[in-house]
């Protein structure tokens, strides 16, 4: 989930709301806020086009790693240049672009940090929306209009798209299928579940032996109990 838009358009607010909504469905999720990532991962980068593109490249790499491990990555970064966002799409693969559309005048009015005012006074150079350009997405999967929608209305719009396009089902399957299969095996084997599971693991860990030594069996069972696979 890649949120893009002008400063103070509402990207971080919506990314946080979406993260909470998905976490409430027991889905693994991580929010990568642009300001926080810059402070931790991208220290030393400035705001030239080259540095901005490098910032997005690094965020995209982190999102790719998270996605590869089954975590829903939600990014909230201005990412002002269309080409950099397209490279991020290619890097990550499963990519939903959310354009947080808000007129610059509204963004200025809601800017509690006063950054737009400082940029207009020349105190901040290369500020997107004032002295640096922002290139809106040509074909984003989702567009929300935060100047005329409440955050909850925009969130419902985003969730509706994810549901109708099947993204939430894909995410739920990734979490639930392993648990579902385990329950099916437990039901099929009944009281034999633990013994059969240990035999399978024994054959994998020690293929030339009939079973794990008793002490190792208990270690395996303790781990399986901790994970909720056996009682």
Q: In what order do the strands lie in the sheet with 97-101?
A: 29-33, 72-76, 2-4, 97-101, 142-145
- For 32, the enclosing helix (H) or strand (E) is strand 29-33
Task: Please answer whether residues 189 and 182 qualify as being in contact, where contact means their C-beta atoms are separated by less than 8 angstroms.
Answer: no
Integer Cα distance of 130 and 208 in angstroms? 70
Q: ∠77-78-83 over CA atoms, to 5°?
A: 100
| Catalytic residue check, 79 | yes
142: left (phi over 0), alpha (psi -120 to 50) or beta: beta
Pick the catalytic residue from 20, 79, 131, 154. Answer: 79
Q: Give which of 58, 65, 69, 61 is closest to 28, Cα–Cα.
A: 69
Rounded Cα gap, residues 61 and 231, in angstroms? 39
Question: Where in the sequence numbering do the catalytic residues fall?
Answer: 79
């Amino acid at each position: 989930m890649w949120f893009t838009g002008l400063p103070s358009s509402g990207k971080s607010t919506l990314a946080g709301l979406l993260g909470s909504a998905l976490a409430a469905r027991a889905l693994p999720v991580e929010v990568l806020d642009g300001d926080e990532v810059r402070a931790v991962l991208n220290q030393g980068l400035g705001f030239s086009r080259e540095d901005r593109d490098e910032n997005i490249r690094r965020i995209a790499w982190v999102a790719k790693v998270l996605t590869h491990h089954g975590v829903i990555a939600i990014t909230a970064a201005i990412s002002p240049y269309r080409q950099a966002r397209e490279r991020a799409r290619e890097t990550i693969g499963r990519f939903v672009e959310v354009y947080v559309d808000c007129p610059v005048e509204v963004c200025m009015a809601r800017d509690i940090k006063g950054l737009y005012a400082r940029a207009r006074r020349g105190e901040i150079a290369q500020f997107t929306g004032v002295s640096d350009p922002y290139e809106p997405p040509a074909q984003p999967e989702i567009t929300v209009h935060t100047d005329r929608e409440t955050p909850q209305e925009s969130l419902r719009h985003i969730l509706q798209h994810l549901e109708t396009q099947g993204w939430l089902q894909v995410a739920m399957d990734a979490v639930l299928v392993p648990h579902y299969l385990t329950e099916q095996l437990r039901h099929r084997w009944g009281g034999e579940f633990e013994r059969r599971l240990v035999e399978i693991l024994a054959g994998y860990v020690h293929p030339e032996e009939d079973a794990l030594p008793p002490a190792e069996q208990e270690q395996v069972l303790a781990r399986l109990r901790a994970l909720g696979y056996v009682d």
